[in-house]
Amino acid sequence: MNYIDLKSGVKESAKRTSGNKRGPFSYLPAIFSVGVIVFTALNVSKIKTALAGMLDPINIISTVSGSKGEKLKETDGRTNILVLGTDQRSFGDQMGSMLTDTIMLISVGKSTKDAVIISLPRDLWVESSRGGRYKINELYGSYGGKDGTGSAETLKAVQDVLGVPVHYYGVVNFALFKKVIDILGGVEVNVENSFMDALYPIEGRENYLPESGRYETITFTKGLTKMDGEMALKYSRSRHGDSGENTDFARAKRQQNVIMAVKQKALSPQTLLDFSKVKSLYELYSKNVDTNLDLSSLQVFYTLAESVGFNNTRTLVLDDRSESENGGLLYAPTDLTLYGGKYVLIPKAGDYSQIHAYIQKYLFN
């Protein structure tokens, strides 16, 4: 069963499965006692998995608070989460506008145990609920950011473009992104292409002349690369790389690679068995992420994310460079009169119907 157009309503799947239920917190002493007795008879990896499940903060807090997390919003067996990465740079004493330069929809299949990551370009030209037109990355800041209006406007725009419902959203700023990776002790990212960017802007020097040290040169070499938060941020944000790495398409692919690396490291036994790390990550999330995921839903989604295999994750970037069968459903108009002189991307079909059909096929094929 596929999604139908949102303007005519969304048919919810009738089949739902309940979230995983874990043993009561009060049973921990007995479990540890039994574990010591039979340690030599059990597989070590299974013990690690069991302990990680019992000790992660999300599960403990949920158990103590009585939140069972039995249901996660879904449509046709898929839960869709919009992830927005915000950027707000300073210009001397002035703060720049808040832009969501990372826009990803993560769709997770509850029964199929697969994940699809769809990246939308920041220059996509969309209409707001008030009738104005903007680049999609301008909506969050233009409508108030953290007061909830900006999130709602961006969520609506993504639903209109893709033709699928968005059940949850999370907004993360780039400073938080760096902290997460540093707490994890760095991540190993698959750099698909070697490139150099001689025009990477230095934070705090946006008003400098180029010859006065406004930019720095960054380089990345193809292959698996260990990155700390700062390096991963530069890899994700670079816009002026050579070797074809100067497009929104290439940038979105790099961001997807970093997201996959973070997921792999965050759900590894090395992280899950380090309670201080998990606690720090949870506190960072709870205090700094603008989201509509409550604690109960977060627990279920966390469990669902653990069940998705890395070889069962697909990525897609909507752009104006690829063939149509690979997501190239947009184009950049040469006459910018209707767009306030801005460089924008619009659908080749004139409306979103072609994108809707493509996304449904991609999700359910």
Specify whether the CB–CB gap between 282 and 204 falls below 8 A.
no
- Rounded Cα gap, residues 228 and 205, in angstroms: 22
Specify whether the CB–CB gap between 301 and 74 falls below 8 A.
no
Q: How big is the chain by its Cα radius of gyration, in Å?
A: 22
> What are the phi and psi torsion angles at 258 (to 5°)?
-70, -40
pLDDT given for residue 149 in this prediction:
82
E-strand stretches of 49-88: 78-87
pLDDT at 262 over 80: yes
**Per-residue pLDDT tens over the stretch 303-347:** 777 777 767 889 899 999 888 888 999 999 999 999 989 999 999
What domains, with CATH codes, occur in the chain? Answer: 6-14+71-173+289-364 (3.30.420.590), 25-65 (no CATH), 177-262 (3.40.630.190)
Q: What is the mean pLDDT of the chain?
A: 78
- Which of the pair, 205 or 46, is modelled with greater confidence? 205
Query: Is residue 194 very low, low, confident or very high in pLDDT (cuts 50, 70, 90)?
Result: very high
**Per-residue pLDDT tens over the stretch 54-104:** 444 444 434 433 444 457 899 999 999 999 988 755 434 444 457 888 899
**What is the pTM assigned to this prediction?**
0.71
Angle at 177 between CA 52 and CA 292, to 5 degrees: 75
pLDDT given for residue 272 in this prediction:
78
Specify whether the CB–CB gap between 29 and 23 falls below 8 A.
no
- Rounded Cα gap, residues 111 and 109, in angstroms: 6
pLDDT given for residue 268 in this prediction:
85
Q: Alpha-carbon torsion 57, 59, 60, 64, what sign? A: positive
pLDDT mean over 190-201: 94
- Which of the pair, 9 or 234, is modelled with greater confidence? 234
**Per-residue pLDDT tens over the stretch 92-124:** 444 445 788 889 999 999 888 899 999 999 999
pLDDT given for residue 90 in this prediction:
43
